């Protein structure tokens, strides 16, 4: 399974970085994070124990639908859907649409977290 590198950076620093990249003043190096959180708190909410357990179920059991994932996990479908949308926003999960359902796919189950000193 793929490992995602995650960075912790303030919103202001992230905006400055994005502007520098867009203007050609900075080119991200290989291995730098592509996914950023503005605090350890926000990272811990997205990668909570419950959400990592859901991610493990997706990776190991490969449910065909969100409904199946909800049944396997014992969580309400609405809760699973919200969690998957959040994980999708960060590139941790993707959903494959079929006619009447969405199939969750784990993009990563390992995370390398890079912190700056301040």
Full-model pTM: 0.84
DSSP β-bridge partners for residue 113: 6
Q: What is the pLDDT of residues 78-104, one digit of tens each?
A: 999 999 999 999 999 999 998 888 999
Mean confidence (pLDDT) of the chain: 92
Confidence check: pLDDT of 117 > 60: no
One CATH from 3.40.630.30, 2.60.40.10, 1.10.10.10, 3.40.50.2300 for 3-114: 1.10.10.10
Give the residue-averaged pLDDT of 10-34. Answer: 91
pLDDT of residue 2: 84
Q: What is the pLDDT of residues 42-54, one digit of tens each?
A: 999 999 999 999 9
């Amino acid at each position: 399974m793929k490992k995602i590198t995650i960075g912790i950076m303030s919103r202001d620093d992230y905006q400055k970085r994005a502007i520098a990249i867009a203007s050609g003043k900075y080119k991200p190096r290989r291995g730098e994070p592509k996914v950023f959180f503005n605090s350890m708190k926000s990272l811990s909410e997205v990668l909570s124990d419950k959400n990592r357990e859901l991610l493990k179920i997706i990776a190991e059991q490969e449910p065909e639908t969100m409904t199946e994932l909800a049944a396997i996990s014992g969580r309400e479908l609405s809760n699973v859907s919200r969690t998957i949308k959040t994980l999708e926003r960060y590139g941790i999960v993707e959903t494959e649409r079929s006619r009447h359902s969405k199939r969750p796919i784990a993009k990563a189950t390992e995370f390398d977290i890079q912190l700056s000193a301040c």
